[in-house]
Structure 1
Amino acid sequence: MPITRFAPHDDFLRVYFAGDGVPRHADFHWFWLRHNSELDRHPLTRERIVCSSELPLELRPRGVRVSADASGLDVDWGDRADGQVSRYAADWLLANAYAADRVAVPPPPSDSVLLTVEASQVREPLVPFALKRLQESGAVIVRGFEADTEALIDLFGGAGLSVIETHFGRIEDLRTDNTTNRNTDQLGYTDSAVQLHTDQPFLDRPPRYQLLHCQRPAETGGENSVVDGLAAARYLADQDAAAFELLRTVQVTFHRKQAAFERVLVSPVFDFDAPEGFRIRYSYFTLAPHRVPFARMEAWYRAYNRFATLVRDERHQFRFRLGAGDFLLYDNWRMLHARTSFTGARWVRGVYFDAR
């Protein structure tokens, strides 16, 4: 059965086979392919002479091509002084396919998915339109509204959302010269970068939605990004079930301590059992020291770091810059958000909402 084409992915290679008029495919991890290379066998006995422990898990090939007669694949691992490549016969790949016709879960989406609209171009009432898009994609950006945050609060209030006051106050003035809010001793009130996180993970019920309403953009920097945490969790479950299970079951401690506020909460990172649906708690700056059993600590860090690497990959982020009057509305139970460092008097107003 000849090979028709292939599709390389970060961790695996998808190979397509022709036969019976119906395309078939199988997925193979790069490491599995490298471990099963015929180049690592004795020339006389054909026994394997390399243990998998001698090979780096992160190894990726320099190149892949279908052989001239389509009977196999040639993979150049780039680690052979003699320049030889590994040949994998199509029949051998099919006979050893451990993931035939696998339906892969897509990774978190990027710029092409999150909806950005101009307020003046929305034909229906703005807030119902924004809330509909919020339910579909987890976040929505509206450009060119106006600077009146109270007017936005009234509009969303009329659509069934209530403002949730936190230990910062009713409205956060995220600016370096803040004099209006309580407990401003945290990263959001500085000009530093704030990496991906969810807000208020140390509360029993974090606010469901957050509005970020730009009053004045930074002189330089201050770009935002959001990532679909639910899509990332599902993708991790498809790629690494053990890592997913650790993030779903291991209890971690979130600890927020500020000048006039302190709260501690213990919870897994992924919560698929919440009565109102999926909830993610992810906040690197409020994590207390992990107290995982010794025999599981390294596995826990590997799992957590794999998820962090996934969401920090810019291919899975929607990145944007808010101008004066623009606002971002996102689902804080589903989406992670971040901000780059900046210069100048950047001012963004933050408001938390929940359904009545």
Structure 2
Amino acid sequence: MPITRLEPHDDYLRVHFTPGEGPRHADFHWFWLRHNSELDRHPLTNERIVCSSELPLDPQPKAVRIGEGADSLDIDWGDRADGKVSRYASTWLQAHAYAAEREPAPPPPSDPATITVDSHTLDEPLGPRIRSTLARTGLLVVRGFGLDTEAIIQTLEREGLSVIGTHFGRIEDLRTDNTTNQNTDQLGYTDSAIQLHTDQPFLERPPRYQLLHSQQPAETGGENFVVDALAAANHLAELDRPAFELLRTVPVTFHRKQKSFEKVLVSPILDFSAPGGFRIRYSYFTLAPYRRPFAEMEAWYRAYNRFAKLVRDERHQYRFLLREGDFLIYDNWRMLHARTSFTGARWVRGVYFDSAPLAA
């Protein structure tokens, strides 16, 4: 069947065919296509003359197009002095389609407009909106609420959420000149960038939700970004099942050591059977050195790095700046959060909450 459309992705190419007896579409890894190029065959015997080990594992094609007559796929790999391209007949692609009609889980969403409301124009009570949105998307940004953190706490308490005190105290004043909290010897009280993580992964039951309430934005920087780790995990399972299984089954050690506080917990990064539902523990700055058998260490690093690359891709992140009076609330069991470095007297108040599981 003729090719109707090409859909390039980072790791693979989706080829769409004219509806008929064969598949409507099929996915092919770039490396598989490069390995099966007819350009790497002997002109007389048509035998392979290049082993897959001689090719780069992450080929980046220079150009991809539908061939004349729509009966072939043409790829210019950009690595041939003679300028020749690889040509794959549509019938050949259909005959060797190892991922026909594949429907993968989508990557994490990234449109901040879908998780943002203006408190001045909201046409429903704020508390129920927070509860329903947390259940659906895992986070909510509220614009223009004002500076009264206790008023937010009261709103959430009416919805069944209770403040959870931690080794920092009841409310954290996240600012570089903090004098109100305990155990401020950690990155949140500096002006450094903090990459994606979950909070308190070293606790048996980390706080379920966190509120971040902006009192004073930074002079420059200090943007927030958040990633749906549940969506990322499901997406990884469709892209790289061995990596997903390692993250789901291999226990790692989280170790928080401060001047006046220390806690250790051993757990897999992805936990789909935790009480209350899915839970991710992910914190590069509290991970202890890995202890894997020698023959398994490289595979573990590849799996972890594959996931890290996925969530650190800005295309998979909600990115926004909290202005004075804005707040963010997110599900700490599901979402990863981070901030960029900043200058100036940035001040954000942090409060942890917990409750019974939210209804969908």
TM tier relative to shorter chain: over 0.9
What is the aligned-residue RMSD (CA, Å)?
A: 1.1
**Contact persistence 2:23–2:100 (CA under 8 A):** no
2:264 is the counterpart of 1:256: no
Number of residues paired by the alignment? 356
CA distance in 1, matches of 2:112, 2:20: 36
- The aligned counterpart of 1:194 is 194
- Report the AA paired with residue 307 of structure 1: F
TM-score by length of 1: 0.98
Alignment of 1:227-246 (within 5 A): 227-246=227-246
Percent pairwise identity: 73
- Which position in structure 2 is the counterpart of 1:154? 154
Answer whether contact 2:219 2:344 (CA < 8 A) is retained.
yes
| Aligned twin of 1:139 | 139
Q: Tell me the distance in 1 between the aligned counterparts of 2:227 and 2:310.
A: 10
Deviation, structure 1 residue 18: 1.1
d(CA) in 2 for partners of 1:328, 1:204: 24
State the Cα distance separating 1:19 from its structure 2 match.
3.6
Is contact 1:114–1:318 with CA below 8 Å preserved after alignment? no
Q: Provide the rounded CA distance (Å) in 1 between the counterparts of 2:349 and 2:304.
A: 31
Question: Residue 300 of structure 2 aligns to which amino acid in structure 1?
Answer: W
- Counterpart of 2:164 in structure 1 is 164
> Deviations along 1:322-349, whole A, 9 cap, x unmatched?
0111000000000000000000100000
Counterpart mapping for 1:32-111 below 5 A: 32-111=32-111
CA pair 40-22 structure 1, distance change in 2 beyond 3 A? closer
For the 8 Å contact 2:24–2:101, the answer to whether it is kept is yes
Secondary structure of 1:284's partner?
Answer: coil
In structure 2, relative to structure 1, the CA distance for the partners of 1:113 and 1:105 (3 Å cut) is: farther
Aligned residue number for residue 313 of structure 1: 313
Deviation (angstroms), 1:114? 3.9
| 8 Å contact from structure 1 (residues 31, 57) kept in 2 | yes
- Name the SS of the counterpart of 2:166 in structure 1: coil
Change (3 A) 1:55 1:338: same
Structure 1 unpaired stretches of 5+: none
Residue 265 of structure 2 is matched in structure 1 by 265
C-alpha separation between the residues in 1 aligned to 2:270 and 2:21? 42
C-alpha distance in 1 between matches for 2:280 and 2:23: 38
Q: CA deviation at 1:112?
A: 5.2
Matching residue of 1:282: 282
Equivalents in 1 of 2:4, 2:270: separation in Å?
A: 39
Tell me the amino acid that sits aligned with residue 186 of structure 1.
Q
Mapped partners of 2:188, 2:45: distance in 1:
64
Q: Which residue of 2 aligns with 1:296?
A: 296
**CA 1:112–1:338 in 2, change beyond 3 Å: closer, same or farther?**
closer
Displacement of 1:190 in angstroms is: 0.2
Report the Cα offset of residue 20 of structure 1: 2.8
Assess, with a 3 A threshold, how the Cα gap between structure 1 residues 297 and 117 changes in structure 2: closer, same or farther.
Answer: same
1:121 is aligned to 2:147: no
- The aligned amino acid for 1:254 is F
Partners of 1:333 and 1:65 in 2: CA distance: 43
Query: CA 1:66–1:317 in structure 2 vs 1: closer, same or farther (change >3 Å)?
Result: same
Instruction: Verify the 8 A CA contact 2:8 2:14 in the aligned structure 1.
Output: yes
What is residue 12 of structure 1 aligned with on the other side? 12
Moved over 3 A (4+): none
Secondary structure (helix, strand or coil) at the match of 1:285 reads coil
The AA in structure 1 aligned to 2:18 is A
Contact 1:232 1:310 (8 Å CA) reproduced: yes
Shift of the alpha carbon at 1:4?
Answer: 1.0
Aligned mates of 1:98, 1:144 — CA distance in 2: 52
Counterpart of 1:344?
Answer: 344
Aligned counterparts of 2:327 and 2:233: Cα–Cα separation in 1 = 26
Q: Which amino acid aligns with 1:341?
A: S
Partner Cα separation in structure 2 for residue 150 and residue 113 of structure 1: 26
CA distance in 2, matches of 1:255, 1:152: 32
Q: Secondary structure at the match of 1:159?
A: coil
What CA distance in whole angstroms lies between the structure 2 residues aligned with 1:295 and 1:4? Answer: 45
Q: CA deviation at 1:125?
A: 1.0
Contact 1:108–1:228 (Cα < 8 Å) also in 2: yes
- Whole-angstrom CA distance in 1 between matches of 2:215 and 2:147: 6
Give the unaligned 5+ runs of structure 2: none
- Tell me the equivalent position of 1:208: 208
Counterpart-to-counterpart distance in 2, 1:27 and 1:123: 44
The question of whether the paired residues in 2 share the 8 Å contact of 1:6 and 1:14 is answered with yes
* Distance in 2, Cα, partners of 1:237 & 1:335: 17
Distance 1:19 1:211 in 2: 50
